[in-house]
Amino acid sequence: MPVSAKICGLSTPATLDAAVAGGASHVGFVFFPPSPRNVGLDLAAGLAARVPGQVRRVGVFVDPDDALLDAAVAAGRLDSIQLHKTAPERVAAIRSRLRRDTWAALAVKTRADLDAARSYAGAADRILYDAKTPPGAALPGGMGLRFDWTLLDGFRHPLPWALSGGLDPANVTEAIARTGAPLVDVSSGVEEAPGVKDPARIGAFLGAVTRV
Is 153 assigned a catalytic role?
no
Residues 6+ apart with CB under 8 A from 24: 5, 6, 7, 55, 202, 206
Measured distance CA(163)–CA(146) in Å, rounded = 10
The neighbouring-strand residues paired with 63 are: none
Q: Which one from 8, 101, 168, 185 is the annotated catalytic residue?
A: 8
Q: Which one from 101, 130, 168, 185 is the annotated catalytic residue?
A: 130
Three-state SS at 139? coil
Residues 6+ apart with CB under 8 A from 139: 32, 34, 35, 133
Is 185 assigned a catalytic role?
no
Catalytic residues: 8, 130
